[in-house]
Chains A and B, each alone.
Chain A
Amino acid sequence: MARTLVEKLWEAHVVRELGDGWDLLHVDRHLLHDLSGPPALGELHRRRLEIRNPELTFAVSDHAISSAPGRNAAPGELGARLHGALKSRAAATGIRFFDLGEPGQGIVHVTGPELGLVLPGLTLICGDSHTCTNGALGALAFGVGTSESAHALATQTVRQRRLKQLRVRCDGALARGVTAKDLILHTIAALGAAAGAGHAVEFAGAAIRTMPIEGRLTICNLAVELGAKVGIVAPDDTTFAYLRGRPFAPPGAELDAACARWRELRSDESATFDRDERIDASQVAPMITWGTSPEHAVPIDAAIPTPASDAHVAALEYMGLEPGRRLAGTKIDWVFIGSCANSRLSDLREAAALARGRRVAKGVTAWVVPGSEQVKRAAQREGLDEIFRAAGFEWREPGCSLCVAANGERVPPGARAVSTSNRNFVGRQGPGARTHLASPATAVAAAVTGELCDARRL
């Protein structure tokens, strides 16, 4: 019987069927961060349970630590306790921990792929909904709650109900100046923020196949904003080339042997999906959100839509926007370039290319928070930090920072921010903060003009 890629990976990891459509799935990689890691490890400690496979488990602080330059000795008041707890529990249980200031530290969904911890065909969990990011490498990756994370620490398995299958085929090619972020925001706006609920979503089509891994990571990162806890792209030569030489990926000949097997990881031609959608990538424009759900996204040159529901009215009121007016030209106060959606080296290069020789507009606070220590160092080797600083951006230390504002860093109440992150929820970047989601290019364009604008017009 023909199967989808996700069905194949799922079935290959069933340790035991639990009945009623539930399976006990083996977990090949388990990543811990400073918010969900300490309580999960703490539960095992309290119950005097062993961690079954610490060698398959990796830990890093990202959510609650400060991103302030020079923070490595003092990760911030809020973050220090959680960072310390994660570090000491990891040391006590034999879990590899990547400390502040070391290569390997960074946003967990940026470091996993970068280190080669994520491989095609693996199951991977983390106590974080954006774990779906890792599906870009052909892994079955999804976020779990703290209880499930504790369950996986004790048993190296998770209890999961089988998912429905959704395919989004992105045909055609993106126009110049249009990025992976624009494509996924366009897709979420077209299908809705709940379209993927209960589903795994496979991204396919020419626009995905020709996309580098960094772009696929951005696409899969926002799968959960489409409602799907799993996003995946079938591995191909682009994937295999990306993995070669990564420190935790199989070396040389072992990688070749694994790649031969990984080539089989694709949906069968005749596999049936519960839902099959097509997106014409050539029609995608640079996108920006106007409201408080990622589905509230429109092309940057569009007008603010007329509200179609009470929820839209509430969103516009929160955002301080009037329907009918053009979004472009709206004054902004903050710019955040970072997060597991868009903080990789390619994102920073794209942003720096536009920032070079320009100046952040008066009254605008603009931050660049690299996704990882490795991204930070690579960017510094290329001089990107100097370009950003010369343009008036703050160059900061790697972590989640203003995306989730769990570390005391906040966009002030009422301030309008253009953010390369993935969530424009009410209060996400700070109580009362008004978030417009966009690509790094659109974020830089906003920073240097002081208003929402199409980066292609710079």
Chain B
Amino acid sequence: MQPFTRVTGAAAPLLLPNVDTDVIIRMDSLLGGGDLGRFALAALRFRPDGAPNPGCALNEPRFAGAPILLAGPNFGCGSSREVAVTALQAIGIRCVIAPSFGDIFHANCFRNGMLPIELPLEAVERLAAQAREGDFTVDLETQRVVPPSGVAVPFAIDGLQREALLEGLDEIGLTLRFADEIAAWQVADRAARPWVWRIPKAEL
């Protein structure tokens, strides 16, 4: 997995609440293959006729390829599709700052080198007010967002998830180190809850 340490660049404001993963990437746009970026946030970026939506900040030249997204509450709610994260990466986004996230999307970010940062709505709005004034830096090591004003905003992040992003850790490899413990747990469980393990070989 690609590690995340820090990014510097534009921060695109998209403060709608409840931007769901269907809006981030429609499921059937995956099946044709090709460039995911064309489909990312398409319902917001484009009008029904395919022309760019002038009301969407992502279409402003200054935000083309912006590595940071300033988003509204409950960003990434809905479907568990992990490709929602890679679709955002396909248009250059490495970090999403929002008041809250859909739980599964939030978890998927850490497995794909994307940093989701939770800040109160007022703080996100203050950052968004500076979005057109210059570049932002997000630093995971120091846990700070530095907007154009230079007044750094600290953020909290779960220790394990921070480490996983900084190191680009492979979780399967980490857990396989505990294979003996998993085996021992399963042996005990077979005795304690036989019905979990004795699944009838049903003919339907």
Contact = CB atoms under 8 A, between A and B. Distances in A.
A314 B19 CA distance: 12
Contacts of A159: 171, 175
Contacts of A47: 172
Interface string B73-114: 110011111100000000000000000111110011001100
A311 B102 contact: no
B200 interface: yes
A15 B178 contact: yes
Interface in B1-56: 16-18, 20, 22-23, 26-28, 31, 42-43, 48
Given A250-B195, A431-B48, A155 B176 contact: yes
Interface string A146-173: 1110110011110101000000000000
Given A49-B172, A129-B78, A156 B17 contact: no
Contacts of A36: 80-82
Nearest to B23: A426
Contacts of B102: 197, 227
B160 interface: yes
B103 A148 contact: no
B18 A143 contact: no
Given A155-B172, A193-B18, A247 B104 contact: no
Contacts of A115: 202, 204
B126 interface: no
A425 B26 CA distance: 10
A423 to B, nearest CB: 6
Contacts of B81: 35-36, 145
A28 interface: yes
A112 to B, nearest CB: 13
Contacts, number: 189
A82 to B, nearest CB: 8
Contacts of B196: 28, 119, 122
Contacts of A302: none
Interface centre among B160, B178, B204 (most CB of A within 10 A): B204
A369 interface: no
B189 interface: yes
B101 A197 contact: yes
Contact of B31 (A24, A64, A127, A198): A64
A55 B200 CA distance: 11
Contact of B171 (A147, A156, A247, A426): A147
Nearest to A426: B43
Interface centre among A102, A194, A247, A408 (most CB of B within 10 A): A194
B160 A19 contact: yes
Given A19-B160, A311-B17, A406-B28, A423 B78 contact: yes
A31 to B, nearest CB: 13
Nearest to B74: A194
A210 to B, nearest CB: 27
A299 interface: no
A284 to B, nearest CB: 23
Contact of B104 (A144, A404, A426): A144
A439 interface: no
B199 interface: yes
Given A26-B185, A56-B199, 20 more contacts: A35-B27, A36-B81, A103-B204, A127-B82, A157-B175, A157-B182, A193-B18, A194-B73, A194-B74, A194-B100, A197-B102, A229-B103, A248-B202, A250-B198, A258-B195, A261-B193, A404-B22, A405-B27, A423-B20, A423-B78
Interface of A: 15-16, 18-22, 24, 26, 28, 35-36, 47, 49, 52-53, 55-56, 63-64, 78, 82, 98, 102-104, 115, 117, 119, 121-122, 127-129, 143-148, 150-151, 154-157, 159, 161, 193-194, 197-198, 224, 227-229, 247-251, 254-255, 257-258, 261, 293, 295, 309-311, 314, 404-408, 410, 413, 423, 425-428, 431-432
26 contacts: A15-B181, A35-B27, A36-B81, A47-B172, A78-B28, A146-B82, A147-B112, A147-B171, A193-B18, A193-B74, A227-B74, A227-B102, A228-B103, A250-B200, A261-B193, A293-B17, A293-B20, A310-B16, A311-B17, A311-B18, A311-B72, A314-B16, A405-B26, A423-B22, A423-B79, A425-B23
Interface of B: 16-18, 20, 22-23, 26-28, 31, 42-43, 48, 72-74, 77-82, 100-104, 107-108, 111-112, 158-160, 171-172, 175-176, 178-179, 181-182, 185-186, 189, 193-200, 202, 204
